[in-house]
Structure 1
């Protein structure tokens, strides 16, 4: 236990049961509604997020993606996805998607714990490099730089949050 917080446990998950599915859905919805850059623009409901989550979990079940979760006290605190390539030319790296920590757990260092677990899961899969993107204007580049990621490009206007609100998509990579 550190600073009164139970130890965080990070695991790679390939079999998602109903309880974990419900927790993932609630987390993704709450992170989105708190303004998290995880694929939606608030406000969203679980009905909005559910089909996207189910498609993701289908890819996890097929082995095309690897789910990595962080739990504190046995409860889901956050999660991320390693999206694996089917191309033989790209099997040495993956894209990290949907990195999120539940709003009630933010500010406790769990983002760093989660990403360390993502790196460990990637190494266990034999991966050598990771790629991710962040939504411009959120200041996330510094967080990822602290984890060894380097920027290699920006796509202006790639993300449209609403009429007249286009953002850059910032591309980052890390060598494991």
Structure 2
């Protein structure tokens, strides 16, 4: 899928080679260390992130998750994950995880390109609805509201960033 950013392309990836794994790892580490709310609290090293990435990639290989990558000029610019349900009662929706754009590429609309691509991959996969969570205090719910996501719940104190720094986790959904 080509986007509004002429050289940006979003694709679903089923196989991750060593080069893409390195790019995913570097991106995730750099996004976290730049303050991104993508599953860690900075500072992190690639050694911190690698086991979590490898577990995610195992689930991609098993078909339990879909990896969606954003490239710009042939280089990884960002990525996200569609986490699929194993339950036959929930196969019509997925949870969106780890939405991130490399810090050096932010501020040019690539987050919108990536999310649009995630939605396209979800629709092409037969999904009808998406769910995601965001950390309180980052304002991310405003970004997702532009795409039709609506809040349906909050879990107080679900995310502990440090001693005495607990945040709510906001649950959002959108029908595709």
Question: After the TM superposition, which parts of structure 1 deviate over 3 Å for at least 4 consecutive aligned residues?
Answer: none
1:25 equivalent in structure 2: 25
The 5-angstrom pairing of residues 9-158 of structure 1 reads 9-158=9-158
* Residue 108 of structure 1, CA deviation: 0.7
Unaligned runs of 5+ in 2: none
State whether residues 80 and 97 of structure 1, in contact with CA within 8 Å, keep that contact through their aligned partners in structure 2.
yes
CA distance in 1, matches of 2:124, 2:18: 26
The CA distance in 2 between the partners of 1:50 and 1:6, in whole Å, is: 32
Alpha-carbon distance in 1 for matches of 2:91, 2:72: 32
User: In 2, distance between residues paired with 1:78 and 1:148?
Assistant: 21
> Alpha-carbon deviation of 1:175?
0.1
Contact kept? 1:6, 1:73, Cα under 8 Å = no
Measure, in 1, the Cα distance between the counterparts of 2:111 and 2:69: 11
TM-score for the superposition, normalised by structure 2: 0.97
Give the Cα–Cα distance (whole angstroms) in 1 for the partners of residues 56 and 62 of structure 2: 10
Task: Give CA-to-partner distance per residue, 1:69-115, whole Å, 9 cap, x none.
Answer: 00000000000000000000000000000000000011010111000
Work out the CA distance in 2 between the residues paired with 1:106 and 1:66. Answer: 23
- Give the drift of 1:7: 1.6
How far apart, in 2, do the equivalents of 1:144 and 1:40 lie?
Answer: 20
Q: TM-score, normalising length from structure 1? A: 0.97
Structure 1: how far apart are the matches of 2:173 and 2:89? Answer: 17
CA RMSD of aligned residues (A): 1.5
CA distance in 2 between partners of 1:61 and 1:112 (Å): 27
Residues paired across the two proteins, number: 175
